[in-house]
Structure 1
């Protein structure tokens, strides 16, 4: 808070008519200039007095106060200490020393100075306000509020009191009261820039971001290029989903104050929003170099998590907790990292600690639900997701994950209803045709219905089975799919006109995303339609593949990895060398990959038992024809699994402990593809054990084929 000049009743020097050029005259002239705000003119006069009388109490005190008012608390502290050494009985000097110490970041020393001031003069409201400020800096927010309220009870009504009281209320998660306190400060001092900035933070806490941006704009008009207000402005711009502008605001703050740790920390979050994760990590490291705070370790953990460096993120959150064991954010963040590391029980412990510290935080039960899903405890997971959505009914991710657990449990009607929340999830690709009416399964009577792909190639192949049912509702169907699938699905023109996702969209009366068809058509476990056949598949091409491959041995198709950019790819993809046990006597392996990981190339080159089909798999119809020539396919969960399953081929699908919803739980088969067999890796297993089991099946088939 601002320093105060001693009231006239407490002046420790006699009031007298100044004699020219006397010490008293110089002090009086300096004080008049000081009170008029002409600090540059007052300072040399105070120093002239001290040159004559180094122990002159008024000059020591007032020059110390002037340096503090000029933004130089480091220069103020030694002067105020010298004044106290001359006369330790003046409470207001101890109070001003406390203010300077708090501004320097020495809150404990500042608190001691305020306590001494109040011991000398219990009626000094400025010391009570300053004491509240020191307690706030120490994180003792309830005590800070009590100190400010005690000053109010004594009749104190200065703007600084209300502003600082608002800071304490905000820290205590009472934003409505914090906003009222800031308004009280502004009512007493309309051009109080700090109060306008703090008002903006309270409005942001209340998610009134547009008003908050206007409020911080006033603060910046009153105090041009104030680094703290620029940081506040950036935080609000992030809340308005304007990360590029937020980053610009943080960068302006750092240009003015390069050592401002909060600006580096907030910059980290904006860079994460922009997908610049390496830059975000560098910014987090810069913040941490300036302040070894729990918040800065937490920010570093968040950046590491975005880089999929989860072990390091978990270590960073542990560092945050060493600094502040009561950081609910760090407990929550550490739990998220532990989920990614597959350490679900430890994650549950972290979320329990976080919930104790921050009850009512929606993300904590949500994350607990994800840990329970990882443990296969889907009923408990659903309860946790519902707890999260009860806190925030619009929490799309909680509704979505509840739906995934319901689908995994085979509760398809409820699950597909909840699956519609996907469109409201942050980061979900936009619904390209949302402006057209949504089809919900009603009769179409010859009207045009646009069905459109929205997810992966495998999802499109899986949902193509609904085309005959949609056509039976009287719709003239236009099917918009990924261009690579056009040749494969081209033979379905008796049900739909095919267009690619980058083609012009014809006029239509309604639209439906492909993944919404199970809901629109009332799908249950008992009513899943059979996979659609692919009339475009040329029998001559199938025969050519069959003739081109050696006979007499079991033909085994292998797909070991999928799209590396898939969110769960590290859980599903398997190094090719792990498939070696499948290549026993009487088995010829055929690699069904259009792309192969660099790390897999040496094994492929050194293994003549696997034939690389990549040069020949020029499109999906070619791949489909090659699959028809296989006796068996062993693959991970990729689009190839859907294609082979839809073709009715004998597929052995390798699944991680937490598989995609469509493969459900525990069962060795799937109603989506009757010819498919599922091989699930338990949490305590590795892939070698699962593949060894499949190898026994392959060997038995090879012996029968021989």
Structure 2
């Protein structure tokens, strides 16, 4: 807020300054134009006066004030400094210089100006308000609020005071009080666009996003081309899950103000929402080029994390913390990157720092739980997830991850109950048949029950054991599964009809996703049903495989990788060359998977006793027949493991340090597949070491068999 003297304007003055005219008369004439809004007409008169009288205080001060009012604080500062040099005894000039310096980002120097202004004129309310703004810019929000309150205690009641108080309160995370302050500002000036925009941010803080959108809409009606308001509108649209509209708002803000770093940063987030992560990273880089701030580095880290470039994301968050060690967001983001990198102890330290800065934040507790899960400390992880739930009882991811930890601990009944939260997780595929009643295991007495696959092929194979149990409750079972599995599941006991997700489901009394069957049928750690064999497997095909493969040496089936698009693929798939220890002279190895990655193909070509069976695996029934012909199978956690386990084959399953819930913890066997042996890689251990142990076991067994 700039202050100026206010003599009464006079009409009829000439437009130009002449040397014969006194500087007082000319300056008074220019001031009248200035106060009437004729800034462009007043400026040349002030400048002409200063040409003849370079140290004339009123013209220096008023020209500096005019440049500030025209949005040119950089142009204002030299004239205000010259005015103070000519006459340092006016508090309002120091105050106006302070305002210009704060606008230029020199808040510390601006604060000194306000302190001098108040020392010269303790009753200068504008200086007290300006001092509050400088403190706000310096991040000293408690002092900023106190400065504004001191001005109010002295009688200040202008709209700017209440708006600025609201800004301080919002920075202190007191959004209800901030909203009240913005309302006070608008009660005094209903057309105060900045207050409407700030009110929108407070409403957004309170998760009242629909109201926030209305408030920012008013601000933009008053100032349609305000880049800051357009940026705020985009932020609110993102919160309302309208990312395309949000992106359009950010793009318009950037078109109007290409150097507005906040808009580039916000645009990054919208592009991430839309899955356009490479573009998001470019936008984050643009924001960082404009502002080397903690927020800009944090934003870049978020984009890198979406691209699975977690080492770079961790470095970006470290850069954010070098800029602002009190950035709880950066501590939290760095912790997440460290979790992805398997550096769980360091991640816990980050979450502790983040929690100190933002106590009561649900995401920090949740992320802490993930780090504890990574360390195998599942009981502690459950406590962290439950703390996140206490903050937000509807936090689906926290309920879901608690369920995963309980399942890993063998607490199957509680775990499968919590597993139902998967449907409420953001980004989870919708429940195709949610409109139909959910089956809870009750008797069906001849009514149709629709059971449907929802996750991967291996999950469907694992849950097939429940189909006869559902039929035993009197249901006519219609099974909806992925098309590749239909030949394998055809003819299963209790299944009346098989359809695909693309088919129209027949009328049914109830439905149940396959992964909900353990809950519906009350599965506990001592009541896991045994796998059932698939009647569609033709013994003649098994015999054909046995006849076609050489005999006399160990037939070893290997599956090193699965679907590369699987979210956990990087933790389960292993380069084929790591299996070299298994390829001894007494082994005929066979790759039993349909996808072959380029690096694996190159290794395979160097091993004459290693054959790729992929081209012959034309169906799951053919794959099953091939597995039946193997003496042993070594594989990672893919559908091949579930199929081989269901067939009762001698399977050696390779598991990462944080395995899927169904393999539980520590135990060397699998309760879902009694003939399977589990080989767990310890943290810090290489796959080569684990595979070498399996090679020793196979060699010992071969010697015993001989």
TM-score by length of 2: 0.97
Structure-2 residue corresponding to 1:162: 162
**1:649 and 1:254 mapped to 2: Cα distance?**
62
Alignment partners' CA distance in 2, 1:632 and 1:19:
105
Indicate conservation of the 8 Å contact 1:366/1:398, yes or no.
yes
* Alignment CA distance shift 1:426-1:16 (3 Å): closer
Alignment partner, residue 48 of structure 1: 48
Cα shift readout 1:32-65 (whole Å, capped 9, x = no counterpart): 2222223223223323333332222222212211
Partner of 2:119: 119
Q: Report how far residue 18 of structure 1 moved.
A: 10
- Give the Cα separation in 2 of the matches to 1:19 and 1:343: 76
Residue 267 of structure 1 corresponds to 267
* 1:258-305 superposed Cα distances (whole Å, 9 cap, x missing partner): 111111111111111111111111111111111111111111111111
Give, in angstroms, the shift of residue 29 of structure 1: 2.9
* Distance in 2 between residues matched to 1:170 and 1:473, nearest whole Å: 59
Cα distance, 1:493 vs structure 2: 6.3
Deviation by residue 1:432-483 (Cα, 9 ceiling, x = unmatched): 1112211111122222221111110000111111111111112122111111
**Are 2:51 and 1:34 aligned?**
no
Counterpart position of 1:418: 418
Alignment of 1:376-455 (within 5 A): 376-455=376-455
* Cα distance in 2, alignment partners of residues 390 and 37 from structure 1: 57
Contact kept, 8 Å, 2:468 with 2:493, in 1: the verdict is: no
Partner Cα separation in structure 1 for residue 304 and residue 496 of structure 2: 46
Contact 1:587 1:702 in 2 (8 A): no
State the 1:495 CA deviation.
2.1
Q: Distance in 1 between matches of 2:84 and 2:103?
A: 19
* 3-state SS, counterpart of residue 451 of structure 1: strand
CA distance in 2, matches of 1:7, 1:109: 27
Matches within 5 A, 1:90-129: 90-129=90-129
Are the aligned partners of 1:553 and 1:705 in contact in 2 as well (CA < 8 Å)? Answer: no
CA distance in 2, matches of 1:670, 1:92: 80
1:155 and 1:442 map into 2 onto residues whose CA distance is 73
1:555 aligns with 2:555: yes
Is 1:4 aligned to residue 3 of structure 2?
Answer: yes
Q: For 2:668 and 2:10, how far apart are their aligned partners in 1?
A: 101
Runs of 4+ in 1 over 6 A off after TM superposition: 15-20
Q: Show the counterpart of 1:501.
A: 501
CA contact (8 A) 1:267 1:283 kept: yes
For residue 119 of structure 1, report the CA deviation from its aligned partner.
Answer: 1.1
Moved more, 231-240 or 46-55: 46-55
**Structure 1: distance between partners of 2:57 and 2:39:** 19
Inter-partner Cα distance in structure 2 for 1:399 and 1:694:
37
**2: CA distance, partners of 1:422 / 1:570:** 22
Matches of residues 258-657 of structure 1 in structure 2 within 5 Å? Answer: 258-492=258-492, 494-657=494-657
**8 Å Cα contact 1:136/1:144 also seen in 2:** yes
Inter-partner Cα distance in structure 2 for 1:209 and 1:260: 23
CA distance 1:513–1:461, shift in 2 (3 Å): same
- Cα distance in structure 1, aligned partners of 2:13 and 2:285: 60
Contact map agreement 2:654 2:679 (CA 8 A) in 1: yes
Larger CA deviation: 458-467 vs 77-86: 77-86
Q: In the alignment, what sits opposite 2:64? A: 64
Deviation (angstroms), 1:22: 4.5
Judge conservation of contact 1:98–1:113 (CA < 8 Å) in 2.
yes
* Offset of residue 19 of structure 1: 8.5
Q: Give the deviation of 1:530 after TM superposition.
A: 1.1
Q: Distance in 1 between matches of 2:540 and 2:386?
A: 54
CA-to-aligned-CA distance 1:295-348 (integer Å, 9 cap, x gap): 111111111111111111111111111111111111111111111111111111
Whether contact under 8 Å (1:297, 1:317) holds in the other structure is yes
Contact 2:10/2:32 (8 A) holds in 1? no
Task: Name the SS for the 1:241 alignment partner.
Answer: coil
Scaled by the length of structure 1, the TM-score of the pair is 0.97
* Greater mean alpha carbon deviation, residues 20-29 or residues 230-239: 20-29
1:78 aligned residue: 78
Cα distance in 1 for partners of 2:617, 2:85 equals 89
> Is the Cα contact below 8 Å between 1:586 and 1:702 reproduced in 2?
no
Question: 1:17: how far off?
Answer: 11
Distance 1:600 1:484 in 2: 24
**Which is further off, 376-385 or 58-67?**
58-67
Q: Unpaired runs of 5+ in structure 2?
A: 15-20
**Inter-partner Cα distance in structure 1 for 2:267 and 2:553:** 61
Secondary structure of residue in 2 paired with 1:426? coil
Task: Tell me if structure 2 keeps the 8 A contact 1:84–1:94.
Answer: yes
Indicate the larger mover: 576-585 or 220-229: 576-585
Q: Give distance in 1, aligned partners of 2:247 and 2:569.
A: 31
CA distance in 1, matches of 2:38, 2:393: 57
Q: Distance in 1 between matches of 2:460 and 2:212?
A: 44
Distance 1:87 1:149 in 2: 30
CA distance in 2, matches of 1:705, 1:697: 12
Q: CA–CA distance in 1 between the matches of 2:638 and 2:87?
A: 81
8 Å Cα contact 1:584-1:699 kept in structure 2 = no
The structural deviation recorded for 1:190 is 0.6
190-199 vs 37-46, greater mean Cα deviation: 37-46
CA contact (8 A) 1:558 1:634 kept: yes
